[in-house]
């Protein structure tokens, strides 16, 4: 039977992963929005939004692969 602390540690880790992609998307959009305002363009929001999605997915896959490698 796993220890109670281990269960809470795993819960915390996976709970944090649930916010990984939305946070990455929000940060990417915010950077793009700021750069659009600074440079007077309209397309950087979309570019950095997509970069945020990609970085969130990559980091999610890396974290989940760490779990698979540990078993």
Determine the pLDDT at residue 25.
96
Q: What is the pLDDT of residue 8?
A: 87
Provide the residue-wise pLDDT of the chain in tens; the chain has 71 residues: 556 678 888 888 888 889 999 999 999 999 999 999 999 999 999 999 999 999 999 999 998 898 777 66
Give residue 42's pLDDT. 96
The DSSP secondary structure of 2-42, one letter per residue, reads: --HHHHHHHHHHHHHHHTHHHHHHHHHHHHHHHHHHHHT-S
Please report the pLDDT score of residue 4 as a whole number: 65
Model's pTM, two decimal places?
A: 0.82
Residue ranges per domain, the chain? 22-70
């Amino acid at each position: 039977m796993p220890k109670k602390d281990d269960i809470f540690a795993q819960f915390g880790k996976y709970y944090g992963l649930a916010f990984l992609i939305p946070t990455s998307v929000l940060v990417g959009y915010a950077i793009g929005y700021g750069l659009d305002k600074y440079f007077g363009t309209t397309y950087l929001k979309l570019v950095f939004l997509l970069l945020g999605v990609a970085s969130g997915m990559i980091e999610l896959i890396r974290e989940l692969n760490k779990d698979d490698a540990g078993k």
